[in-house]
Structure 1
Amino acid sequence: MRFDVITLFPEIFSPFLTSGVTRRAYESGLVEVRLWNPRDFADGNYRRVDDRPFGGGPGMVMLAEPLTLCLESIRADRAACGAPDAPTVLFSPVGTVLSHASVERWSASSSGAVLICGRYEGLDQRFIDTHVDHQISLGDFVLSGGEIAAMALLDAVARLQPGVLNDEGSHQMDSFNPALDGLLDCPHYTRPETWRGQSVPPELMSGNHAHIERWRREQGLALTQRQRPELVRAARRAGHLSKSDEAFLADFPKNPDLDS
């Protein structure tokens, strides 16, 4: 799949695309990323891409024309390469918050997307109304630009591609995954068995795989109930909680080891 990224700072992406386990997705072409600078499509000696907002106020607004010319060039390049047309995504505080479910949908899309990284006070609304298909947010806070959000989406999509992670089943046990019924993952431990006076829970050392899996399920339930109770409610509404799950949750507030 192909992602075209419109950004005023393409150099930010260089270390991202060549570092970590997800670089396998980019180097192999499983996830193709092309970077486009709207300044290359701006007029004048200064290649201006922003101007003051009508009505006054602080900050600058990105101009619609360079962005449009950049987007048109992307679409022409996609057509010349035989790549399918793709939806246009703007990272914005008004967008839908990125979730595991939406990442799975993007990771299964053969067309990829055109990702627009805004800067300054935002984009001319006329460009948004004319060209943007989806708006995505990382949460209720504001970043200096959309580049970090774009990298978050690319990373989440890349790690779901076959062969990218060392263990193909690794992402199946991630928090929010359907394999965990949308709950949080359990805590994890590794060597040494005792670290600075703290020991690995004995359940993990039992060798009883069924017992270990139940312990992990209960720890995931406990963590989710403590940190994200709305996910437990969603799992219950979807019918994903077993009788043993419900029995554990019923006793959860009474267990001082889990309610601290």
Structure 2
Amino acid sequence: MFSTAHIVAVLIGGMLISCLFFMRRKWHYIEGYKQIEKSYALSLFIMEILYQTWLWKTNRWDMSYSLPLELCSISVILAIVLLWTESKYLYDFVFYAGMGGALQAIMTPDLELGFPHFRYFHFFYTHFGIIFTACYFTWYKGYLPTFKGIMKTLLLLNLLLPIVFMMNGLFDGNYMFLRAKPSGGSLLDYLGPYPWYLFSLEFVAFFLFLFFWVIFRLGTRNSVERQSKRQ
């Protein structure tokens, strides 16, 4: 965390998100953008397959931490499906839970292997991929985050928790950090001891989702107003 490789990855990802924002009005003039969407979804899928293959080939694969039960693992899968199906039902979860989880992971990466290892590239590519997908559907496809979407996402997260708790108990895992905080340090360190940080996370998630909703709705509204004035 906060190594040169970490900071460079954050800067590159931030610049790419900025480019995505500033190019939003030109996207529909690009031919074959549907194929680009599906190709990007395929690249995320391939990265996940390569990661699972690497775990298996190096004898690292284990039921306690290799299943796609982390918040960001679930979000990557849903982002891939969203890019292929354009389902509005998946958008809320990817936008709120996916982007919130990915941002926290990017800022405080829980990584044993750094640059130039494959795991380094997989980690940042897939986590930024969640954010790119959420921003793309907001800025390019016209999907708008709603307050109702916040409540739906929080409800779905709380419905997932008992399932993940059960899987943690069965396989002695720590998916979603529901049994312990990450050893490398994270936001959870400021939310109290176990199990109280789990309750604190409910409030953090709500206010983080609310922040996303206000910022993106305000930005979209201002963009539309400026475009109307030019017309």
- The structure number with the bigger radius of gyration is 1
Q: Of Structure 1 and Structure 2, which has the larger fraction of its residues in strand?
A: 1
Q: TM-score, normalised by structure 1?
A: 0.23
Q: Which has the higher contact order (CA 8 A, sep 6+)?
A: 2
Q: TM-score, normalised by structure 2?
A: 0.25
Q: Of Structure 1 and Structure 2, which has the larger fraction of its residues in helix?
A: 2
